Chains A and B, each alone.
Chain A
Amino acid sequence: CLLLALSLWSPPSDLPPRPQAKPVPGSSHSESSTMRQRMKDKLKAARSEMGLPTAEEAYNFFTFDFDPEPDEETRKGQKRRTRPEGENEEGEDGGDDDEEKEEEDKEEVTEELFLIDQSADDFLVFKRAEYMGYQRRLQSENELLFTPSFLTVPASSKVPENMKPRYLEEEGLYVGERPPMSLTNQNILENRILKQEQVRWFGDDGRIMALPDPIKESSTRPPLFHIEDDLDPALQTVYRKALVSKHASQYISVGGETNGDYQLDVDVSGLIFSHHPLFSQEHVLGSRLVQLYDQHLSRQHRNLTEHLTTKLNGLRNTIGNMLEVHGGQRLTPVMQQRISEYKQEVRNTRRLRDLEQEKDRTLLKGIVKIWKEIKALRDFQRFTNTPYKLYLRREEVERASDVREYEAEIQAEVDELLDEMEEDYQRKVTEYRRQQEEWKVWRRKQRAKNKKKKKTQSQLDDNEDDEDNDDDDRTDGEAEPGPPKPKPPEEPDMEGVEKQVSEKASRIRRKPGEPILVPELTASGPITPNEQCPRGEFARREDVAKRSIFIKVLYNDKEVSRTDNRSLNSDFRVHFGQIFNLKIVNWPESIKLQVFEVLGLSTTLLADVFVPVPESSILTGSAPSEELVFSSNLRVMFDHEAVGSDVPFSFEVDGSNRQTLLTSGKLSCSVSWAVGEDDVPLAPPTTQPNGLKQLDAIASIGASGLNDMKKLGEWATESRLDPNDPNNADIMQLLKVASSGEVTAPDYFRLEQLQEEFNFVSEEDLEQSRRFRLLRLRNQEVAEFRNYKFVPAMEREVTDKVFEVRSLREIVDTKGHLDAHRALVAKHLHKIRESIINRFLIAKHHFIMSDLVQEEQVPTIGILGLNLFKLAEPKRPLKPQRKERKKVTAQNLSDGDIRLLLNIIRAYDIPVRKPSVNKPAVTSKSTRSFTETLTAGQSQRATQGSDWLLNQVQVRPFVEVSFQRSVLQTTTADGPNPCWNEDLQLPFSAPNGDYSTANLQSMKDEIFINIFDEVQYELGGDRGKEVHTRLEKHWLGSVKIPFSTIYFQSRIDGTFKVDTPPVLLGYSKERSLASDGGYDAVRSLTEGAFITLFITIEPQLVPGETIREKFESQESEGLLLASEVFERDAAVHFPDRPCLTTVININGKTVFITRYLRPLNPPQELLDAFPNSPQEATDLIARYVSLIPSLPDSVSFAGVCDLWSTCDQFLTLLAGDEEEHAVLLCNYFLSMGKKAWLIIGTAIPEGPTTYVLTYEQNRYLIWNPSSGQYYGQYDTFCPLQTVGCLVSADNVWLNTQAYTSPLRIRFDVTKAKLWKPFFSRAFPNPGLSSVQCITLHIILHLPFPKISLTCRIEKILKEKIMEWRPRNPTRWNRYCTSTLRHFLPKLELSRGRDVADEHRLELQSLLGDYRISGFPLHLPFSEVRPIVEAVYSTGVHNVEASNVEFALAVHVHAYPNNVLSVWVYLASLIRMR
């Protein structure tokens, strides 16, 4: 039905008043078409009568609903409207034809013109609706549709034909639980599948294949709550900041609020003894019975026999099925394989089943037997000790079926066995055939060969044909052993099998028809009361009653609690029933229960029982009680009835069949994690650090600890794990992954596997970059770079020059040496130094409290007293004493902060000038002996006294101090004993501006204190009007003090001997005074000039302490301990006396000091020099030793320690400290048969040092090993100030006298009062071997021409002098030089003594014309630099006179072993005329 909305369009003027022109719903097509017709007519009419509209028309015009479409649109609208009409018409006539419709579409354009004119009737066909009858429809539907029935489908239709359904479950395989499904639905589905004939959907068991139920019982995700909803406040999530666990690793790491709130519940419920020493015989039997019964029960519970039997049946059925299904057809190889596998399985299962059955059977028999024994025993002893009673319950069986089953079983087994045997036989037969075939082939070959051989043989020699044949056969057979001839296999013994099987069955199985025996054990029997027992038994029971048991609980090997004492009952069961709640903080490592038995007061530990730490899922309440077996091998014997433990006893009357039982028992307990109040398990999170976590799955099966994948795999295949069992899923997964090789555990262990990622740059870049190299060198505190400032930011700004410094140093070092040997030594020394420095680098960074924090010392009573005393002190004392100053650590110092303070007080015995026209006093040169030397003072004074009075020539000395090339001088004083008392302050700057202790210690700078004579010359004063004077300074002598000494000593105070040259031209060493005053008599025992000085550093620096570290040692522990005690005692009682018992050798190991002393042969050459005078020889040796250059250890091993090298090391290195000199000298003296000791003491200026003491001609001599000088014991100018201890080759003595000065002590070490020996009767010398070599390797000859060395030194010095005089020309007087050169060897021979006069004579010719001032310098040779420094310090080059000439001569004298003595003669000449 169509609704036509007709619209009118006409200009308002010609619109006719037509209220009925409203659209009228047409009920039919015909109606509408007629209406259209009519409308058209009317429109025509309206157009024809054009006129004014009436009022009604007007009203209509404004109120009428117009269609806004224009005319054409209307037409189109009509067109459109018509189309559905047509369609509808066609649709209704039922012939629903698409083609037709399309056709019509095409024709539409043309048709529509006529559409208006044609009526709908032309297209419409009226027809009755088609109706299909219900029955018919059902019928047709039945053809198409299928309604599955919900009836159960018979199993037979689901499995392939002729096949029985097979139930995997029955065969012992694991079949997962299916997802639940209603039976109806299942049936419907099955029916549907069957209808579609898709049988593959059914499994072997005839059911639809289904995976096990995948739904977990509990949800793995926490339930989601929507935030919008109002949540229970308890369920609100609360933000907590991440916390760092405060527990260390051994503690349980906690995340969250349950801070270590973990609790283990240890439930000790009780214990049962399976054997106890107090068991009576009946008890033994009883407990055995109970054990067997328990075993029986547990076996019955597990019912392995039944299980295996079912499995066996299942397997048999399967094989049967398979064979049946494939009936006559040929079996595929796969099937065959499977069948044989099944058969194998059957065999195994059968064997297992048989075993189990046998066990069951024997167990039952055993129970019955023991019960019988108990009964017999009870009868025999006439009392009952145990309440056990055994009942045997009979279960009758139906005889016929039983027999049938029995027979069937036997038959099945026999069949199988036969089958197997048959198979075996067949295999053997085929094998046999194959072998026979092989053998035959081989045989044939053999024959052919033999024939060939025979032929050749026969051709060769016919005679021995026969014999050879035989031989050949044999030899061939031996040479090529073929396969042995196979034997045919034996026919299987069919009859035997049946017999065997039935025999076995009767052995292990119940006989058919026999009732099943079920034992039942009760403990309800009466026990004979004590009174009725015999005495032995009574005693035993008494004993039992006395005992009690308790259990200690140990957690991580710490006792946490113990149970109460529980007395032992007659049934040897103890019930505790105590639960211990352990709040734990540490990870549980072990839980141990200790069983103790108490008898009276004594307690004995019976056994330790280890309880496994529970899994975190094991919670209190659900934890099963475990029975842990324990035993003890304690031997216990009794004199009463009890059987004891570890004691053999017998049940038999005759004592045969003895057995020994040990105490043992079962402890039932359970350990579990507690559950908190709000049901929160108080167990630590499972992420334990206990390793093996991922293999827990395996552990649960019982193969714990298998972390070898290979083994695991083997084990899995062997044990035939069911891959479908979810219990095994973890392993299967693991194996799968392992076999795929993804988790191949590396067989190495890497500490920082992430290092590479975190590397700043690659190793190569780090190596190549100069900048990084520089940074690293600085960080390693390599000397040159230690305080390197401003490492450039850019790679390109780092020049290679920076590194050249380092390499240059080494090169220059070796070049600077004039002597190849010394260069090598220097290199070696450098190496040692490097290694030792590296060794102590770490130790240097150790700090102690006083390094960092300044703290006032706690005042002791003594200090308080002194302070009080001080109050009474005069403010300005007459003799002020130097106060201790505050010490400053050298960290925060900079240039200019430190000054060197020198107080030059006075000097003695300065050489005085000789008038230039002095008649040489010829005194006979005499070789003096020791005694002469010692008394020389007097004799000399006597001879010279008159001389002095006649020519009293003044000397005007002043002191010049030079340090680090800055020079200061005092005012000039008068006379040979001047007194200056002047303070000098020298600036001090550390190299590189590094004021660290280490750097200061390693400074090699020396302070030169030179004494000059100021000489005034008058120039051109001929007329007396003008007097021009020129000042000249003449060097008289010097004192050298290394800076390191001052640094370590902090102050130097004393009188020093001035190094004066042996010859001073123009000066004479006059004995100062004629008077024979007592003061003089003491002082002038030694010759030479002296100067009194006080030197210190301002502010006072704290010297670096030696490393506080113990060195490794090869000395015995006792010796080290004793030496430590000895030294500590010395330090406590005599703090100012240095005591040394152990020293550190060059390898950094502690060595006992006496090991260094051992007689060593001095070079033969030196001994031979003065064969007649031992004194001279001694002198020479001392001189020889002193010529070895001295190098303080503290300089070479800055801040490290004092190292002692052995004599051969010392001689090889040719450099050493005072110790080395002293040791060498002492060893030489010892070998010369002298009594010699080492003195450990302090001296000026060295500080703590080592001297040598000798005893000869009833007096003690003190030798300074580094200068070769000796002093009498009572010499006031002896530099040795304190004597700490004496060392000989076999003992050390500590000075325990009241004084330390050598003047005031006695050197007799045998006096126990005065000297405390280290090795005494109580602690004898263990016979320490020496570290020194037996003989010293001596190089007798110089490895290089010394002439060249002489020349080189001379050349260098000349160049240097010219260099120092840049403004003046330097002329060399060749004549003088050659004279001097001649003179030097003589000086060497006389060792610088008493040659001045002789020398003066020689120079006489020159002296006439020139005024000469000059002197020879004598130095040990090590390097050129010290020589140059010494020459510079004399200041000869400073002569400003224009007509000055110079003379320089060098002489090198070689002593054995490359020890060189260098003489430099230096003179300045000024022409007089």
Chain B
Amino acid sequence: MTANSPSVFLLMINGQIEGANFPEYDDLYCKYCFVYGHDWAPTSGLEEGISQITSKGRDSPHRLVWNFPLEITFKSTNPLGWPQIVVSVYGPDTFGNDVVRGYGATHIPITPGQHTRTIPMFVPESTSRLQKFTSWLLGRRPEFTDPKVVAQGEGREVTRVSSQGFVTLSFNIVTKDTKRLGYDTTATETTHTHPVAAGFGPGNQTLSM
């Protein structure tokens, strides 16, 4: 890859899972993973992670804080399948069984800079009241077969979910070579378009899928 004609662009994500707001639950931990398309690959950093268990503090009775850092760099040739972060939160129920407390996903912000995202969380519902009762009793709540399901649209119509709480994430996004490949992700207010970017390959770079 020469500096003049890059064939991939890079997306660097620094950030953290700051915390969550689950009014009813305590002692939660979270897992995260990234879901991305075929044309993406992580070049460095952790793709998956699991946080410590956090309890609500006396000062902030509504807030669970993880401050769990995220650091990953992706390379890609195609914005199709832009990475999404999937966060799932777990914690003990009344009987001490580890159950899922919420799933949520969001796309990584596409524009460079600092972003804060608050993801609403949800869990799948039991199919019937009896199921609900037994799952509560046994501490085996329904879970997604794969947390990555929440980052995809296909097949969701068969599920039923209920909302739980919120997880807040912050991102610092740095991109490299996106503009050179014809993907202008910055806001349109910045009118300075570099002549390099403008005059770069009129044929194919501006087109993308």
Residues of A whose CB lies within 8 Å of any CB of B are 760-761, 765, 769, 771-772, 775, 778, 787-797, 845-849, 851-856, 858-859, 889, 891-892
Residues of B125-143 whose CB lies within 8 A of A: 126-128, 130-131, 134-135, 138, 140, 142-143
Are B145 and A891 neighbours in the complex by a CB distance under 8 Å?
yes
Are B204 and A771 neighbours in the complex by a CB distance under 8 Å?
yes
Give Cα A797 to B5, complex, Å.
11
Are B77 and A790 neighbours in the complex by a CB distance under 8 Å?
yes
Say yes or no for B78: interface residue by CB 8 A criterion.
yes
Chain A proximity of B9: nearest CB distance (Å): 7
Are B144 and A788 neighbours in the complex by a CB distance under 8 Å?
no
Are B38 and A789 neighbours in the complex by a CB distance under 8 Å?
yes
Contact residues in B for A796 (Cβ distance below 8 Å): 204
Q: A775-B80, A851-B158 are in contact. Are A794 and B134 (CB under 8 A)?
A: no
Are A854 and B39 neighbours in the complex by a CB distance under 8 Å?
no
Are B154 and A845 neighbours in the complex by a CB distance under 8 Å?
yes
| Residue in contact with A794 in the complex, picked from B127, B130, B131, B205, CB distance below 8 Å | B205
Contact residues in A for B157 (Cβ distance below 8 Å): 847
Give Cα A677 to B189, complex, Å.
50
Are A769 and B144 neighbours in the complex by a CB distance under 8 Å?
no
Contact residues in A for B149 (Cβ distance below 8 Å): 852
Are A853 and B124 neighbours in the complex by a CB distance under 8 Å?
yes
Give Cα A775 to B38, complex, Å.
10
Q: A797-B7, A889-B146, A891-B146 are in contact. Are A852 and B41 (CB under 8 A)?
A: no
Q: A796-B204, A889-B145, A892-B146 are in contact. Are A789 and B158 (CB under 8 A)?
A: no
Are A854 and B143 neighbours in the complex by a CB distance under 8 Å?
yes
Q: A793-B9, A793-B77, A892-B148 are in contact. Are A853 and B143 (CB under 8 A)?
A: yes
Give Cα A769 to B134, complex, Å.
56
B206's closest neighbor in chain A, by CB?
A761
Give Cα A849 to B143, complex, Å.
11
Chain A proximity of B58: nearest CB distance (Å): 36
Are A791 and B126 neighbours in the complex by a CB distance under 8 Å?
no
Give Cα A787 to B7, complex, Å.
20
Q: Mark B146-183, 1 if CB is under 8 A from A, else 0.
A: 10110000111111000000000000000000000100
Give Cα A775 to B130, complex, Å.
47
Give Cα A761 to B140, complex, Å.
51
Q: A778-B38, A797-B7 are in contact. Are A852 and B156 (CB under 8 A)?
A: yes
Chain B proximity of A870: nearest CB distance (Å): 16
Chain A proximity of B23: nearest CB distance (Å): 24
Contact residues in B for A772 (Cβ distance below 8 Å): 209
Are A853 and B145 neighbours in the complex by a CB distance under 8 Å?
yes
| Residue in contact with B138 in the complex, picked from A765, A794, A856, CB distance below 8 Å | A856
Q: List 15 A-B contacts (CB under 8 A).
A: A769-B207, A791-B39, A793-B205, A793-B208, A794-B204, A794-B205, A795-B203, A797-B7, A845-B155, A848-B158, A852-B149, A855-B124, A856-B131, A858-B131, A891-B145
B134's closest neighbor in chain A, by CB?
A858
CB-based closest 3 A-B pairs: A847-B155, A795-B204, A793-B77
Are A761 and B144 neighbours in the complex by a CB distance under 8 Å?
no
Chain A proximity of B90: nearest CB distance (Å): 14
Give Cα A788 to B39, complex, Å.
8
B177's closest neighbor in chain A, by CB?
A793
Chain B proximity of A84: nearest CB distance (Å): 65
Q: Mark B53-89, 1 if CB is under 8 A from A, else 0.
A: 0000000000000000000000001101000000000
19 new A-B contacts, CB < 8 A, other than A793-B208, A854-B142, A856-B138, are A775-B80, A790-B77, A791-B39, A791-B77, A791-B78, A794-B181, A794-B205, A845-B154, A845-B155, A847-B158, A849-B158, A852-B145, A852-B155, A852-B159, A853-B159, A854-B145, A856-B131, A892-B146, A892-B148
Are B41 and A849 neighbours in the complex by a CB distance under 8 Å?
no
Say yes or no for B197: interface residue by CB 8 A criterion.
no
Q: A769-B204, A847-B158, A848-B158 are in contact. Are A856 and B140 (CB under 8 A)?
A: yes
B77's closest neighbor in chain A, by CB?
A793
Residues of B whose CB lies within 8 Å of any CB of A are 5, 7-9, 38-39, 41, 77-78, 80, 124, 126-128, 130-131, 134-135, 138, 140, 142-146, 148-149, 154-159, 181, 201, 203-205, 207-209
A778's closest neighbor in chain B, by CB?
B38
Are B7 and A856 neighbours in the complex by a CB distance under 8 Å?
no
Give Cα A852 to B80, complex, Å.
24
Contact residues in A for B208 (Cβ distance below 8 Å): 793
Contact residues in B for A892 (Cβ distance below 8 Å): 146, 148
Chain B proximity of A658: nearest CB distance (Å): 70
Contact residues in B for A765 (Cβ distance below 8 Å): 207
Q: A760-B207, A849-B127 are in contact. Are A789 and B145 (CB under 8 A)?
A: no
Are A792 and B77 neighbours in the complex by a CB distance under 8 Å?
yes
Are B38 and A854 neighbours in the complex by a CB distance under 8 Å?
no
Give Cα A891 to B142, complex, Å.
18
Main secondary structure of the interface of A (DSSP, over half): loop
Contact residues in B for A775 (Cβ distance below 8 Å): 78, 80, 209
Contact residues in B for A760 (Cβ distance below 8 Å): 207, 209
| Residue in contact with B39 in the complex, picked from A790, A856, A858, CB distance below 8 Å | A790
Are A851 and B155 neighbours in the complex by a CB distance under 8 Å?
yes
Contact residues in B for A789 (Cβ distance below 8 Å): 38-39, 41
The listed residue with most B CB atoms (<10 A of its CB), out of A761, A788, A854, is: A854
Contact residues in A for B128 (Cβ distance below 8 Å): 858
Contact residues in B for A791 (Cβ distance below 8 Å): 38-39, 77-78
Give Cα A1032 to B158, complex, Å.
60
Give Cα A849 to B127, complex, Å.
9
Q: A796-B204, A847-B155, A858-B131 are in contact. Are A787 and B77 (CB under 8 A)?
A: no
Give Cα A790 to B9, complex, Å.
12
| Residue in contact with A793 in the complex, picked from B78, B146, B158, CB distance below 8 Å | B78
Chain B proximity of A785: nearest CB distance (Å): 10
Are B145 and A851 neighbours in the complex by a CB distance under 8 Å?
yes
Are B38 and A787 neighbours in the complex by a CB distance under 8 Å?
yes
Chain A proximity of B192: nearest CB distance (Å): 23
Chain B proximity of A592: nearest CB distance (Å): 39
Q: A775-B209, A794-B204, A795-B204 are in contact. Are A859 and B134 (CB under 8 A)?
A: yes
Contact residues in A for B9 (Cβ distance below 8 Å): 793
Contact residues in B for A790 (Cβ distance below 8 Å): 8, 38-39, 41, 77
Give Cα A906 to B144, complex, Å.
42
Contact residues in A for B181 (Cβ distance below 8 Å): 793-794
Q: A788-B38, A791-B78 are in contact. Are A855 and B158 (CB under 8 A)?
A: no
Chain B proximity of A854: nearest CB distance (Å): 5
Contact residues in A for B126 (Cβ distance below 8 Å): 855
B157's closest neighbor in chain A, by CB?
A847
Contact residues in A for B39 (Cβ distance below 8 Å): 789-791
Contact residues in A for B5 (Cβ distance below 8 Å): 794
Contact residues in A for B143 (Cβ distance below 8 Å): 853-854
| Residue in contact with A852 in the complex, picked from B38, B130, B138, B144, CB distance below 8 Å | B144
Are A855 and B142 neighbours in the complex by a CB distance under 8 Å?
yes
Give Cα A775 to B81, complex, Å.
12
Chain A proximity of B10: nearest CB distance (Å): 12
Contact residues in B for A847 (Cβ distance below 8 Å): 154-155, 157-158
Contact residues in B for A859 (Cβ distance below 8 Å): 134
Are B140 and A792 neighbours in the complex by a CB distance under 8 Å?
no
Chain A proximity of B159: nearest CB distance (Å): 5
A786's closest neighbor in chain B, by CB?
B38
A797's closest neighbor in chain B, by CB?
B7
Chain B proximity of A99: nearest CB distance (Å): 69
Give Cα A765 to B204, complex, Å.
10
Contact residues in A for B209 (Cβ distance below 8 Å): 760, 772, 775
Chain B proximity of A764: nearest CB distance (Å): 13
Chain A proximity of B160: nearest CB distance (Å): 9
Contact residues in A for B148 (Cβ distance below 8 Å): 891-892
Give Cα A787 to B40, complex, Å.
12
Give Cα A775 to B134, complex, Å.
47
Chain B proximity of A432: nearest CB distance (Å): 82
A771's closest neighbor in chain B, by CB?
B204
B33's closest neighbor in chain A, by CB?
A892
| Residue in contact with B8 in the complex, picked from A771, A793, A851, A852, CB distance below 8 Å | A793
